[in-house]
Amino acid sequence: MLGITVSGVLDAAASRWPDRDALVVTDQDVRWSWKELRERARALATGLLATGLNTGDRIGMLAPNRAEWLLAQFGSAYAGLILVNINPAYRQAELEYALNKVGCRGLITETRFKSSDYIGMLQSLAPELATASCGDLHAERLPALRTVIQLGSENIPGMFSLEQVAGRPAEEPLQRLEAIAQQLDFDAAVNIQFTSGTTGAPKAATLTHHNMINNARMSADILRFTEKDRLCIPVPMYHCFGMVLGTLLCATTGAAIVFPGAAFEAKSTLQVIEAEACTALHGVPTMFIAMLDDPGFEQYDLSSLRTGIMAGAPCPVELMREVIDDMQMSEVTIGYGMTETGPLSTQTLPDDPIELRVGTVGRALAHTEIKIVDEDGLIVALDQPGELCVRGYNVMLGYWDDGKQDRWMHTGDIATMDEAGYVRIVGRSKDMLIRGGENVYPREIEDFLYTNPKVDQVEVVGVPDPKFGEEIAACIKLGEGERATAEEIQEFCRGQLSYFKIPRYVFFVEEFPMTVTGKVQKFVLREQLAEELSQKSGTS
């Protein structure tokens, strides 16, 4: 494993591959080499320190994918700061919570994006900005925040522009960076990411240099990455998928980082893959589905593609076949993990048969331990379901201000493991249904329904039932031009699934409630269906 810091990774990349492409962002007309990225990141680091920030301070990053994200990621690391990833979909109350939860002293922010007016949010939260000196904010609702840096070119009261902060550094500030580098410990915190918060307020997972760098390195080895690879990253940078398995994975191998746009769009991603001859592509299944369904898909030359990671949600077998055959990603892999494990715990191999790349999430990464336990914490037998727990270098320090993490990270996922060590995720512990005393895992039903050629996407949830406690509801998005009835779907299940696993309710939908990262929000779906059934029951 690598015993270095995030800034040390960029130093090494700039030394080994100074003139090779490090970052390409076509919509910003950016094409930086590893040497240039290092120079720009160090310039930002000295500027951040000059604003009054100090080693150990937390600095938020609120922006979609753009070149400045890498400057923030590496620049904050050079300055010894802890970067706090803030979801650009957050609204004002969520932004206030995130900044205060970890005591952000600094914030780098986009001015606006889509329907979000970030400057407006900040000015509402901190009206004191109107009269504050840059770097000396004192706001009642954001008591820790002192420095706000905006990514636009406007002159906004109380805020620096990035250009003001990232001016060319003098010799003395660079010497301060060298002194900080000598004192930094690779086991120290370098990044905070908020968990989804589907139950209660989001928690602030605190990750170290060692967590993130080595997780990126282990995955890069599986993907057989070299400096000749070019990785297209449509997944968001505020998440581990983009930040660790994207930028840090490339930095450890010299591969080029390619952003197809500020946010995912199928057409622009396909265009960039072709134009930049990308060899790898990361994404969640819904992104791959969108690209394959793009009306102009056939016109793009994707022959440069070789590998990548599909993660974040289950991958139907037919989708995997299309990605391998139609997108020419013969070595695409499946990864599994969570923010708290930096993120990956398991990954399939590029040459695993398709059945393993779809039916499992692979085996434990090197230097990572996995156990599957019952409700009493005892390890279950092979092929028996239980909660998946992870231990190793990749497990976070803990949740910010909530104490240290135990040696074993309890994922909340229900899994099985076979003799060869391949792990199958059968559901979330909180997603498990109990129908009339029978434990039912939605993933099993979903996997079966995907074998129906009419089904394009399916999500199974539990809805309240007075007799059985919970009943099974299947929400199905049919393939283009397909038609089906609820009775037809139920008949398809008979004789193939146990009677208590056959969906009582079948709903046909055009779309699902999604997170910004492309995951289906099952808790929202569950609430919507429960309300719909309640209304029907009340009117019948």
In one letter, which amino acid is 162? L
- 353: tokens are 């048969």
DSSP, collapsed to helix, strand or coil, labels residue 16 as: helix
**Residue 99 DSSP symbol:** H
On the question of pLDDT at 429 being above 70, the answer is no
Q: How confident is the model at residue 407 (pLDDT cuts 50, 70, 90)?
A: confident
- 464: tokens are 């309240």
What does each C-alpha distance from 118 to 87, 108, 114, 151 come to in angstroms? 12, 11, 10, 11
Is residue 505 within 8 A of residue 474, CB to CB? The reply is yes
If you classify domain 433-539 with CATH, what class do you get?
alpha beta
If you classify domain 6-15+31-194 with CATH, what class do you get?
alpha beta
Q: Within the chain, which residue ranges are assigned CATH 3.40.50.12780?
A: 6-15+31-194
Percent of the chain at pLDDT above 90?
75
Q: Is the peptide bond before 143 cis (omega within 30 degrees of 0)?
A: no
CA nearest 98: which of 69, 75, 118, 77? 118
d(C-alpha 247, C-alpha 234), whole Å? 12
Question: What is the pTM (predicted TM-score) of this model?
Answer: 0.84
pLDDT, residue 195, reads 83
DSSP, collapsed to helix, strand or coil, labels residue 82 as: strand
pLDDT in tens, 466-480: 777 789 999 999 999
pLDDT in tens, 190-238: 999 998 543 456 789 999 999 999 999 999 999 999 999 999 999 999 9
Q: Within the chain, which residue ranges are assigned CATH 3.30.300.30?
A: 433-539
CA nearest 76: which of 116, 109, 106, 35? 106
DSSP, collapsed to helix, strand or coil, labels residue 400 as: coil
